Every structure is written in structure tokens, then in C-alpha cells.
Structure 1
Amino acid sequence: MSEFRNFRLAALATAAILVGAGNIAHAQEVLEGIVIDIPAAPGGGTIPIDKVPGGVTVIDSETISGNTRTDIQDVLSKKVPGVLLIDAGGSNIRSQLDYRGFGAGSITGFPQGLAVYQSGIRINEVFGDVVNWDLVPTNGISGLTVVSGNPVYGLNALGGAAVIRMKDGFEFQGVEIESKFGSFGYKEIGTQIGITSGPWALYFAGQHIAEDGWRDFSPAEVDRMYADIGAKGSKVEAHFNLTWAKSSAGVTAATPEDLLNIGYERTFTSPQVTDLEVLMPSVNAKVDVTETLTVSGLAYYRRLKSSVIDGNVLEAEGCGEVAAEALGFDADNLTPGQQADVNLALANNALNDENVCAEEGVEGDTPASLALEALGKANGQLVEEDDVGDEPFGVIDRINQKAESWGTSFQAVEKRELFNRPNQFLVGVSYDKGSVRYKTASEIGELGDRFVVNGSGITITEPDDFTGRDVDVETEYAGVYFTNTLDVTDALAVTVGGRFNYASVDLVDLTGEFDGITSSHSFERFNPNVGATYKFMPGFQVYAGYSEANRAPTPAELACANPDNPCPIESFLTDDPPLDQVVSRSVEAGIRGELNSNAGDQKFTYGVGYFRTLNENDILFVNSNVTGRGFFFNGGDTLRQGIEARATYEWRERLSIYAGYAYIRATFEDALEFQSPAHPLAGPCSDGGDDVCIQVTPGDRLTNVPEHRFKAGFEYMITQKWMFGADLIASSGQYHLGDEINVLPKVGGYTRVDLKTTYQVTDQVEVFGIVNNVFDRRYGLFGTLFEADEAPTEPVGPNFQFNNPRSIVPAAPVAAYGGVKVRF
């Protein structure tokens, strides 16, 4: 009840402000004279926003540079009504975002439903379609555009696309240096330089960011740069650009709520570190062939190196204990007869009390038939407890990949009149080729203080859940697309278009142990779209559209779809049944407009829209009955529908106010059976095995998708040199992953306020201050379940006990930053 009251008060307070004033903060739905890149799949072409039959939000570089955090996700969460941070990893620099119930983030296993482009290049990574937002230099961004579902953006645009446009030397000239320091050891320095000389231009942007992190074991460091060399003539423009970035982040993930009650900074298992490095050179060119015809093209190469170290609890004990428990004995109080039965069971498997066995996989109920799963070394010898340490045990999963991709695209835009009416026709083709070398290994260790796994140097080779993988992956994606917008009248514009997608994924097992991994998959589909916009009068427009899109299963999903052989969250590969591609069908309709005062000193913009997207054969990730592991499966149909609303107001460049609201109802549309070992109401699965499941019914909500999202803010020039502003974000609660039947208490809703101020000391020097989460609200960004009754308590202390199966990724507490920006 208090959650709803806080949310309602926040909404009413900002609504009252808008009645008296309004805002924009440079993120707006402007209707006249503004153009966006459409399609960026993969390269260019522009169309006025008032001819787009769907939701569009444009964010400029000034908004990005003035944000209270230096990451794209946070900007989008404040300025786009349907976007919210849903952080499964627990790292500020690597957080995920949710747009209308569709995800875009860096965690494999987090369903991806947003296509992301940087200067026309799709940067959803080859292996899992993940988006590494931390590898994009934010001070080099010229603008961001978020567009709702449209097939011209290619694969993965189920919910829409985010288009990032980078700066060049023709746009930015001069030198700018910015430094920022603050809480939790935060340090940042950035620079950008732009130079022009005749037809040539040079641009460079670089950033270094480092912080100790506010949670245990959560330091982060990022170095990133972007460079562009451009040449421009009367009819030809060409650019060579280069992106390089390297990041390291302590990805601390979800922590049991019982543990957070001891210390808000606590983490559950460590080490959890992700290291990334990307190199991406590209070339692009545009030629004005005639006054109405423009052709363009680009080519790129991208190399990503990824290293993940992931410590987890290992469900393993001494083989004698496992045998005793499997036989129904009290391992600490064995009678002589029971000990004899245990010894017989161990002898049948050539084991002894000193060996280590996995808890899962025990079969049979007599000493003669009991099948214990021992953990083996790389040389095939059995693991002995003395070589590992004291119980409880842990495991360190190491996941390494080197991915390379290259691609090219060409398109033409013809603006010649059709039937004596203004018309724009765009046609294009794209081709992307990718290869990945993927290797994994698991090291057994001892779970020590604060749940840190201390490795033993012993690599586990048995059972299959822990056997290392070595896989080669090859992908090919091709697309042919078109879109045509005709001004039927001065008020009515009609758009039709579509895209044919082809995708192939080949996997080869290089270990010789998993023949089922070696497989070939191909997918193809044509996705249409149609829509219209109509201006009833100046300042009032309606729009409506229908579109389809598809997402081919990624290599990570195709190779991790077997519930009997689950993968770690960052995806070991297994021999698995195939998955079907996801197909989305979307309808959208709304109104929008812009009003200006007669004196021209005030501007008010607004928009309200309805959307409905049905996913067929949606691919879902489910936690398995093996701790820290899960699998993908086609979960029938899922539905995401709701409304988005926004309003902005500007007055004489002195005051700007904005507000946005989104209602999102995301539901399962089919009855499903989910493995959910940590759920207190889970029962036997229908297959009659040892696993436990929950039964999802149509209408149950998707997990970690808040129903209500509200954001608002203002900037006010107190004097000509001094600005003060604030941003508010509010969200309702969300169900935990693992509680797909929606019966447990939610991750609580929240309201967060950030403050900011700047002072222009001279024309060249600006100082600024920032306070994030000024009221120090404590809330969760993501929720999941864990097996509280099975979790070890020794790392906490003798009197501690896990009782609550819920765990969350806690949001950062209050933090203050200050800095200076110099430009000349």
C-alpha cells in the first residue's frame, strides 16, 4: 500500500507542476523540422518525425553530457517513458535496460529484444545478441533515437531500436576537457577534439572512468575512445572511424535479502568479474547522385574479447555424505549397518569417503544400484577433499570468448515525387558475418569468508554439467529491406515497408565429447509494416501502425536449451534440442503535438500512445535445479501492451520541465511448466523426475517488468550563469525471476531523486555538482530466487540462517560528485 501511495504522490506532484509550466531538457517529440535516422539498419536515411507512424524519442548530445551519470542506459531511463533500468548484473557501468518489457543488456540469459546501432552498425554482439553499453564513448555521441518496433531495423527489433549517432569534426570544433570525482572512489576524465581544414575534418573523443564501487568486490574501470576522419565535397561525403574500448567490472549480481539485512554492501558469491575489449574500424560514404537520389554504404570489422570469472556455490559434498543422504541416513549418526551400506555404495562406484561427489544426479535407492556422480580432475582422477579444502565447496566458472564480425550494407534513397506528391522511397541490403571461439572451464574450490570461492587449481571434468566446452561458432545474417512514405495529402502521410531476414548459425564441438553441439540452424522470414500519420490541425497529429519483426535464436540459446544439461548463467554449451525463432506482431496508435506561444517564448509538446506486441514462440530463460545454471526454451506466446505519455515545456531558455509515464502489462499467454527449485510452492514436475516445477497460467505477469514507470524533472536558470535541476524516477514493484506464478512478495517499488547544478565561471570554464539518490532510498533493481534451505551459512557465522528465498540487486545509495568542464 505504501508503494502505491509513494508512486501516486510522485505522479500527482509532477502533474501539478506541468499544469502550471512544463519542460523538455532537450529530449522531445518535436514535430516540425526535426529528422531522425530511419532506417539505421544498417545505414542512414532521414525522415521527419511527424511522418513516423509510431513512438519516437530523440535525445541530443547536450542532454547526454548534462546527465548525472556517464552511461547511455541512465539517460534513456530518464528521458524515454517506457525505459527503466533492470540491473541483473549489479554494476553501474554495465546495467541492463528494459523498454516496454523488452531487454537490452550485457548479461547472457537476459532476453534481448532491442536492436542497437552505432553509426549504422548493429552492435548486438554475435554470440548472444547482448549489448555492451559500457564500450560506447558517451562524450562522442551526437544523438540518440529510440524508435518502436519497425522491421527495417533487422533482427532483434521485437520491441524497437536504439540508434546512436556519433560526432565528427564537421559537427564539433574545438577542444573540451572534463573531469569528475566523487563518492566510492569515482574518477573520470574525458576529452574531445574537433578540427576542420577545407574539405577535411578530424574528431577524437576519449574517456577514462574508474571507481572502487559501493558494494563488496565491485570495482570498475573503463577506457574508451572514438576517432573519425571525414572528407566532404559538394556531392560526396566519406568517413573512416574507429572505436576502441576496454572495461573491467565487478559484476556483483543479486544478494539474498537476509544477507542485505546484515550489510547493504554485501554480495553473495565472488569472484564475479567481467573483462571486455572491443576494436571496431569502419568506413562509410554517401553520394548525391542527383537532386533526388542519394546512395550510401558502409563496411566494418568488429573484434570482441570477453573474459568472465564467475564464483558460485557448488552443490557437492564428500561422497560418503552424499551416499548416506541418498540412502535416507543421517550422515552424522550412522549405525554400523548403515555405514556398511554406505561403504558398499561407495565401492560400487570405486569411491571413498575422501572423494567429492555432486549432490545432483543420484540415482537408485539401494547400495547396489546407487549411482554417485563424482567430480573428476582434468586427468581423470577423482577429486579428494584434502586437495580442495573444507566444506562448503564452491566453483569458479571461467568463460572466455573471442568474437569477430564484419559486414557491409548499401542503400538508396529516392525523393522524386510520386503522383505529383512528395514521396520518399528507401531500399537497402545488408550482410553480416560472425565467428566466435568459445571456451569454458570450472575450478572447484573452498567457499570462504563473505562467500569468496578460493580456487584449488583443480579443473572439474565430470559430470557433464561442469565439463569444459570448446566450441567454434559461425553466423551469417542477411537482409533486404524497403520503406516508402507518400504524402497523400498535405495532412496525410502513408508508410509501407518490410524486410526479409535470413540467419544461419553453425556450431562445432572441438572437444569431441559433445557431438550434439555440432549442428546447423537457419531461419528466414519477411516482416511487413504499414502505418499512417494525419495532421488534423497545427499542433495536433494522430498516428497508427502495424509491424512484424523476428529474432533468430542466438548461438548461446541454441546451445543451451536442454533442461537435463543446464548451463551457467553466462552459458556453457550443451547438446540441445533446437529452438524456434521468435516472431512479434505489433500495433500502435497515438496522438502528439507541439504548441508555441504567440510571442515565441514558450513551447509545449505532448504525446500519448497505445502499443500492443504479441511474441510468438518467445525464448525464455529458466533457472534449473542445479544452482547457478539454467536453460532456454520456447515459452509459447507472451504479450506486452500498455500506454506511454509525455509532456514537456520550455520558457525563454530559463525553465524546462518534462514528465513521462508508461503503463506496461507483460503477461504469459499460454500455460507453462517452469523449473523453479527455489520456489517454496514448487511441486513435482509432470515428467515424474526429481525436479520441482511451478505451473504458469495465462495472464501471469512476466518477471522483472514493472507495471508503472514515471519520470519527471526540470532545469531552471537561477541566473544567466547558474543552473539548478532535478530528475525523479518512480517505479512500481516487479516479480522475482523464478516466481512466474506471481504469489511471492514483489521487489518493492521506489521513487528516486537526483539533483544537479552548473555554474559558468567564464565562457570557457564550467563547474558542476551532482547528487544521485539524494534521499538515500534503498530498493531493488532486479529480483530472483535462490534455495535458502540449501545455501551454506558458514561464510556468515554460526548463528546465521537463510529463511527468505528472495534475492535482489540493490540500487546504489546516495552519492555526490563534482567536476569541471573546460572548452576552448
Structure 2
Amino acid sequence: MTTCSQLALAAAMMAGGSAEAQNAMPPQAAEAMLEPVEIIGTTLLPGIGLPREQIPANVQTMPAQSLREAGGVSLAESLQRRLPSINVNEMQGNPYQADLNYRGFSASPLLGTPQGLSVFLDGVRVNEPFGDVVNWDLIPRSAIASMTLVPGSNPLYGLNTLGGALALETKRGDTHPGGEFEVYGGSFGRRGGAIQHGGTRNEASWFLAAEGLKEDGWRDHSPTDVGQVFGKFGWTAGVTDLALTLTHARTDLVGNGVVPESLLRAEGREAVFTHPDQTRNRGTLLALSGSHWLNDSDQLSGTAYVRRTHTRTLNGDLEDDFEAGDDENGALNRTATRQNAAGVALQGSRIAGAHQFALGASHDRGRSNFRQTGQEGELDGSRGVQPTDDEEEVNELLGRTRTTSIYVTDSVALTPAVQMTGSLRYNHTRVISDDRLRPNAPGNLDGDFTYRKLNPALGFTWQMSPDLTGYGGFSQGNRAPSPIELGCADPENACSLPNAMAADPFLEQVVTRTFELGLRGRLSDDVRWNAGAFRSTNHDDILFVGTGGSLGYFTNFGKTRRDGIELGLDGETGSLDWQLHYNYLRAVFRSSACVLAENNSTAGRDGCGEDEILVSSGDRLPGLPAHSLKVALSWRATAALRVGADLVAYSRQYARGNENNAHRAGDEFGGRGRVPGYALFNMSADYRLGSGWMLFGRLDNVFDKRYSTGGVLAENSFVGPNSAFAADPDAWRSEQAVAPGAPRTAWIGLRYRWGS
């Protein structure tokens, strides 16, 4: 029996709850009775999976075509346009360095952002070992076959799955045969292209892809250069399947961050605060995965991988210790981080009557070599930093992480209509830090910490009728502190991430517990709907607390909570495909504490220190809008022409540094502490020219809306005439800095497909 047949028969057995009835007929007859069902993998390894209707959560999927139609420069931008409960903050100022927020949890490439989502490519976790960050620029977008967004603290997805997991599957030659080539160009010097080809011969298959993008950027001094290659080689013989995945990327990203609102008014939205702010990434992944059916009921699967990432940053900043009369007012901070990761995972799956079991184990290792230097300089007329002194080494750290996990899950049909799924996962993590700059010296960065946690999950689905299903469940996940967080956790020795670290206290691991319930169904064969609610509570949450300038430190902060409601409606009406999603999110602190926020107008009140604010239970977390609305339409006007449109709208959000939600503008403080809401309208079209040729185009932010995706309360030192540097720090002004969104952007391209 083929793997697809096994999946179909397994789905029928689990849906019907009667293995005996299915076994009483030939497999071919059982398969003939089945309607098409969408199978969702319940673990990261190749396995049997479950029909989507039997998953006790609001799982979202997106195939490659939907991802393409969503548009967007980066993967994060595309996902926010189509998936509910996602918003993006572009605090770094580059689309490939966006913070992706899902249900109030983040996956970000920026150190200092609390990470709460795990991201996987072909079953391999791509959160980096050093800070759990996600480098979106290293993910080969043209090679993605499908995407699954799993909500909640699902323990089967391992560490860092606090708010959800994003599982990306890549294309294979046996599922995506033929070739495709495209080139495109447009606004702000954007030009790019991609080529891919897949095929099979006997038991072997292959899929190869390469893509590149360059642009000058719409802001000053903000070019982008991205190059990616991908290869996947498969071998399938009967009940055995093997796949070897290879990815490599080289990118050069310049994102010059947030800008004080006064500079935007004076110089326009293209302005930058200081520059350069450059990140160069080199990443390689090699992964081998396989599965083998022992018989009609038992399957073995496994994955082994190695990853190499080399990141170099160059940041032009103000001199943190600048005083009136100093000659140097700027600094160039450089870092080099080499990260190596490797791991192996094994899993056994079994269908036994009304049960579907999986038992697995994994071991992952990460090794990070971090080196940082500083160089004093002077700010020029464009607010760029010109070096005046020699480089000095500031830190050199070796961080190692080791995680061993075992897990078990069982999905059982309690009745023909009720399905129960239970899971357990035990994680054992060790985090070791070695200070290479100050070995064996008092106060160095040496540390050795061990974290253990047993995480459960339990959920139910109830098919009340063929067109109505209810679901509900509980799940728990954990995240161990990363080497960067343990190396920057002392409020007396704040860090300039990722530029400085000091000997620090122990941090507790984050534990998240999630409750979720909802309904989903069909109004007709072509119209689907869903309505759900969730609550996720973080215990010992790890937050990065700013102390002024680029300085800050990591600390545990009691409890935080995310409550939300998700409503969705999608369908097909003749030649029109459409979807409508509304989401409400209430992300709040559930503990009280004094935290540093010197640029908040309420600093020094409520019994806190001079530069501190009192954050109380019920205050909203910054960077997260409460309301979001997403509408998408795709109209097949003719057999050759498709026209698409989408609307993304968000309510206002609080700026970082205004965690107490109490900042007010005044004589000494600028900005409201809030970033206004906004709505963006985008359009796309493609036209088939014939013989495999297609013309396509995209117009983003059609009405050229002026908006910002996030904000922070900061100090502005450029307050003189023509925004010149003020040599007297007493003249500097606290105000709100924002991450301006891209203006109207258009591009057009040509695509050719053959052999598909």
C-alpha cells in the first residue's frame, strides 16, 4: 500500500472510530469511499498525521500559490497579509528583518525581542541558538511548498513554542515537476529573479531553485541584497522515502531603525537617525529525513541535520558615554557571530484500533562564538559615523546549548464523533557560557545552567454534524534562556545589544499555558467559517528592559497574558475567491514591577526610582494592536486574467517604553506613547500570454498611506537647527521614535513555465 493510501485509510479509521469496519473491506474499497481530506502532521517528523477536522486547535495552512498571491517582499510580510492574528513591526527598517507577531508572541531576527514562536523548515528548527532569533532572509521562499501555522503552546514542537509554531515544507520534484523562470523590477531600484526546476527519474526526484533580489530601499542609506539557493533530492521505493535538503543564502541587509517623529516632520519619511546599521548573514542547512512503513500500521521516521550561520553587524550609534566637551560623539559597534547547530530525531508511529500513537526522541546542540568590538568616531552631516580611533575588543563569548527531549502522543476516537488527543514532552536543556576575553576573571561571563520541564497537552474535537465541529484543549510549552539572555541580565551592567555583556544572575525559564476553544464548519460546500477564543499565560516571562540609548538588560517579569478572539469566513463564489478575518487581542502584564523607562513622562513616580515606571497588572504590552481586519479577494476575470486585492487594517498600539500606558506629551517629552492604527490596500494581477508565459504586477499601499508599524520612547540628540547634533546633552529631548512604513510601491515582472 502506498503512503498516500495509508494516510487516506488512517484518516477514515480515525474519523469513523471503527478500525474493524474498515478492516472488513479491501483497502481499495475503503479508499473509494473517501472524500478528499486535508491531513495535518501532528509532529515535526514524517508521520501519519490527522485530518484537519480532528485537530483541537485553529490550525492554518497556506500552499505555495496562496503565498505567491499574497505578495510582500519577505516571508513575514506575506504571512501577515493572509493569516489571522499576525501583525508585523518593522522596527529595524528592513522588510527582511521584521518582527512577526502571532497572538502576541514574536519571531524576530533582532536580539532583545522576546521570542515566543518556533519556526521549522522541513522539520528542522531554524531559531538560532544564540538568541532564538529567526533570520527570515535565510529561508528560501521560492522553494516553499506549503506552510502550517500551529497555534498554542503545543509541546510536540519543542522549545520556544510558547504562542505557536510555523512549519514550512519545501517542494519536491515528484510533487512540483517542471521548470519556472521569472524576472521583475520596480520602485526604489528593486530588481530580482528566480529559477526553479523539479523532476523525477525512476525512484529518484530532484528540485532545484535559486533566487535573488536587490534594491536601493525607499529610505536613505538602506540597500538590500539577498541571494538564496536550494536543492532537494528524494528517493522513493515502495514503503521507503528519503529526502536530502540543502539550502544556502548570502544576504546584506541595511535597516536603519526607528526615527524620531521630529526628524520625520523635518526631513520626510526617508530620513534615518544614525547610520550605518548593516547585517550580513551567511547560512547553510543540510538535512536528511526519511520514513519507512514496517507494515500497514507501523511507521518509522527520522531527521538529522547540520546548520551553519555566520552573522556580521556594523552599527553606527551615538556614543553612550558622551558628555559635553567630548571630541567623539559617535561609535561603530561591530559583531561577528558564528553559530553551528546539529541534531537528530527519531519517531515511531502506530495505528492500533481506534488509537494513533507516536513516540519520539530528539537531541539538538548549538555552539555560538560571539565577538564584539567598539570604535569611537564622529557623526558627519548625514548622521553617519566616521571612525577616529582604533577598534577595541569588548567581548568574546562561547555559548553552548544542549537539549534532549522525549515525547509521546496518542489520538483516539472515543466515539464516532468525538476525538481526544493527548501529548507529553520532557525537555532537558543545558546552557553553558565561556568568557574567552576574561577567562577565570572575577565577574566574567562564565555560566552553566540546566533547565528541565515536562509539558502536557490535551484536546478534544466533537463533530456535532457533518458541517459543524467543536474543539477545545489545553497545552503547555517552555523556553530556556539563551546564551545572549543569560549574558545580559544584570541591571547594574546594561548591554548594548548585541554589543556588550556582563556577568549576570540566573534567569528562570519561561513557561506558557494555553487554553483554546472554538467552532468551525461550513455554510455551504463553498463557504467555510470559524470562531474561536484563546488564553495564553506566560510565567517568568523574559523581557528586555531598555535603560536609555541602545542599552538594556534581560529580566524575568512575573506573568503576562494574551487573550484573543478569532473570527474567519472564506469561500468561492463563481470566479471569485475571498476571505475575511477579524481578530481581537488583549495582551497585558499580569504582575506589577518598576522597570527602567527614562523617556516616559511618568518616570520617577508611583514609588519607583528616578528613571523607572510602575508597570501594573492590566497594562497592555507594547507593539501589539488590539484589533485587526484582513480581507482578500482573487477574481478570475477571464481564463487568462486574474486580479487580486487585499486590505490589512490594525488599530493603534502602545510604543515600547510606555509599558505602563501612562506616558503623556508635554514640554519635556514628545510623542503620545501610542502609534496610530492604519489600513493598507494592495492590488495584484497576472495575465497568461500563452505558451507558458505570464505577465504579473503588484501595487502595494495603493493610496500611499503614511503610517508606522511600531514605536519606542527614546532620546533625540539632533535637536539643533536643521536637525544638527546638540553638543550639550541637557538640550536633548525625550520623544517618540517610530518605524515608518513603506510608501506606494509597484513592480512588474515576466514569468515562464515549462514541463509542468
Q: TM-score normalized by structure 1?
A: 0.83
CA distance in 1, matches of 2:563, 2:89: 18
User: Could you tell which deviates more after superposition, 443-452 or 791-800?
Assistant: 791-800
CA contact (8 A) 2:54 2:461 kept: yes
Q: Is it true that 1:191 corresponds to 2:195 in the alignment?
A: yes
> What displacement does 1:489 show?
1.4
The AA in structure 2 aligned to 1:623 is G
Q: Report which structure shows greater RCO (CA 8 Å, sep ≥6).
A: 1
CA distance in 1, matches of 2:98, 2:703: 22
Corresponding residue of 1:541: 469
CA distance in 1, matches of 2:530, 2:78: 19
Cα distance 1:255–1:793, how it changes in 2: closer, same or farther (>3 A)?
Answer: same
Corresponding residue of 1:715: 634
> What displacement does 1:642 show?
1.1
CA distance in 1, matches of 2:606, 2:397: 32
Please give the residue correspondences for 1:336-351 in structure 2 after superposition, counting only pairs within 5 Å.
none
User: Could you tell which deviates more after superposition, 306-315 or 574-583?
Assistant: 306-315
CA distance in 1, matches of 2:53, 2:132: 31
Corresponding residue of 2:30: none
> What displacement does 1:633 show?
0.3
1:296-316: CA deviation from partner (whole Å, max 9, x where unpaired):
011110000000111111144
1:234-254: CA deviation from partner (whole Å, max 9, x where unpaired):
011111110101111111111
CA contact (8 A) 1:396 1:442 kept: yes
1:642-685: CA deviation from partner (whole Å, max 9, x where unpaired):
10111101134x11110111100000111111101111221179
More strand by share: 2
> What displacement does 1:137 show?
1.1
CA distance in 1, matches of 2:644, 2:427: 45
Work out which of the residue numbers 520, 528, 550 in structure 1 matches 2:448: 520
Corresponding residue of 1:499: 425
CA contact (8 A) 2:474 2:516 kept: yes
CA contact (8 A) 2:333 2:499 kept: no
User: Could you tell which deviates more after superposition, 708-717 or 45-54?
Assistant: 45-54
User: Could you tell which deviates more after superposition, 308-317 or 159-168?
Assistant: 308-317
Q: Is it true that 1:397 corresponds to 2:401 in the alignment?
A: no
Corresponding residue of 1:455: 387
> What displacement does 1:793 show?
3.9
Cα distance 1:437–1:196, how it changes in 2: closer, same or farther (>3 A)?
Answer: same
Work out which of the residue numbers 100, 107, 128 in structure 2 matches 1:97: 100
Q: Is it true that 1:125 corresponds to 2:128 in the alignment?
A: yes
Q: Is it true that 1:796 corresponds to 2:732 in the alignment?
A: no
CA contact (8 A) 2:304 2:344 kept: yes
CA distance in 2, matches of 1:277, 1:299: 21
Cα distance 1:282–1:91, how it changes in 2: closer, same or farther (>3 A)?
Answer: same
Local SS of the residue matching 2:352: coil
Cα distance 1:201–1:437, how it changes in 2: closer, same or farther (>3 A)?
Answer: same
Q: Is it true that 1:286 corresponds to 2:306 in the alignment?
A: no
> What displacement does 1:138 show?
0.8
> What displacement does 1:501 show?
0.8
CA distance in 2, matches of 1:282, 1:659: 37
The AA in structure 1 aligned to 2:531 is V
The AA in structure 2 aligned to 1:396 is L
The AA in structure 1 aligned to 2:444 is G
Corresponding residue of 1:295: 300
Corresponding residue of 2:342: 406
Q: Is it true that 1:741 corresponds to 2:654 in the alignment?
A: no
Local SS of the residue matching 2:65: helix
CA contact (8 A) 2:242 2:290 kept: yes
Corresponding residue of 2:9: none
Cα distance 1:803–1:576, how it changes in 2: closer, same or farther (>3 A)?
Answer: closer
The AA in structure 1 aligned to 2:434 is V
Work out which of the residue numbers 94, 106, 115 in structure 2 matches 1:112: 115
> What displacement does 1:151 show?
0.8
Structure 2: runs of 5+ lacking an equivalent: 1-34, 664-671
Corresponding residue of 2:227: 223
Corresponding residue of 1:817: 747
Work out which of the residue numbers 381, 397, 403 in structure 2 matches 1:471: 397
Local SS of the residue matching 2:70: coil
Q: Is it true that 1:178 corresponds to 2:106 in the alignment?
A: no
Work out which of the residue numbers 165, 171, 180 in structure 2 matches 1:167: 171
CA distance in 2, matches of 1:515, 1:470: 14
CA contact (8 A) 1:715 1:723 kept: yes
CA distance in 1, matches of 2:143, 2:638: 29
Please give the residue correspondences for 1:287-686 in structure 2 after superposition, counting only pairs within 5 Å.
287-317=292-322, 321=324, 356=326, 385=327, 388=328, 393-417=329-353, 421=354, 423-459=355-391, 468-512=394-438, 515-597=443-525, 603-625=526-548, 627-652=549-574, 654-683=575-604
1:34-80: CA deviation from partner (whole Å, max 9, x where unpaired):
0122211x555421111111110000011112232242212211221
> What displacement does 1:713 show?
1.3
Cα distance 1:773–1:725, how it changes in 2: closer, same or farther (>3 A)?
Answer: same
> What displacement does 1:433 show?
0.7
The AA in structure 2 aligned to 1:190 is A
CA distance in 1, matches of 2:442, 2:119: 33
CA contact (8 A) 1:68 1:754 kept: no
Work out which of the residue numbers 717, 720, 736 in structure 2 matches 1:806: 736
Work out which of the residue numbers 246, 254, 260 in structure 1 matches 2:250: 246
Work out which of the residue numbers 690, 697, 701 in structure 2 matches 1:773: 701
Local SS of the residue matching 2:390: strand
The AA in structure 2 aligned to 1:816 is A
CA distance in 1, matches of 2:590, 2:298: 46
CA contact (8 A) 1:563 1:631 kept: yes
Please give the residue correspondences for 1:40-119 in structure 2 after superposition, counting only pairs within 5 Å.
40=44, 44-119=47-122
The AA in structure 1 aligned to 2:349 is V
Local SS of the residue matching 2:262: helix
CA distance in 2, matches of 1:730, 1:528: 36
Local SS of the residue matching 1:170: coil
Corresponding residue of 2:11: none
CA contact (8 A) 1:548 1:586 kept: yes
> What displacement does 1:486 show?
0.6
Cα distance 1:802–1:709, how it changes in 2: closer, same or farther (>3 A)?
Answer: farther
The AA in structure 2 aligned to 1:729 is V
Local SS of the residue matching 1:576: coil
Corresponding residue of 1:349: none
CA distance in 2, matches of 1:594, 1:677: 52
CA distance in 2, matches of 1:209, 1:741: 41
CA contact (8 A) 2:651 2:677 kept: yes
- The percentage of aligned residue pairs carrying the same residue is 31
CA distance in 2, matches of 1:429, 1:594: 38
CA distance in 2, matches of 1:74, 1:593: 28
Local SS of the residue matching 1:775: coil
CA distance in 2, matches of 1:693, 1:44: 51
Structure 1: runs of 5+ lacking an equivalent: 1-30, 323-355, 357-384, 461-466, 598-602
CA distance in 1, matches of 2:499, 2:476: 29
User: Could you tell which deviates more after superposition, 742-751 or 267-276?
Assistant: 742-751
- Give the number of the structure whose alpha-carbon radius of gyration is greater: 1
CA distance in 1, matches of 2:533, 2:442: 47
CA distance in 1, matches of 2:407, 2:322: 57
Q: TM-score normalized by structure 2?
A: 0.91
Corresponding residue of 2:25: none
1:266-307: CA deviation from partner (whole Å, max 9, x where unpaired):
010111000001011111111011111111011110000000
CA distance in 2, matches of 1:239, 1:697: 51
Cα distance 1:469–1:686, how it changes in 2: closer, same or farther (>3 A)?
Answer: farther
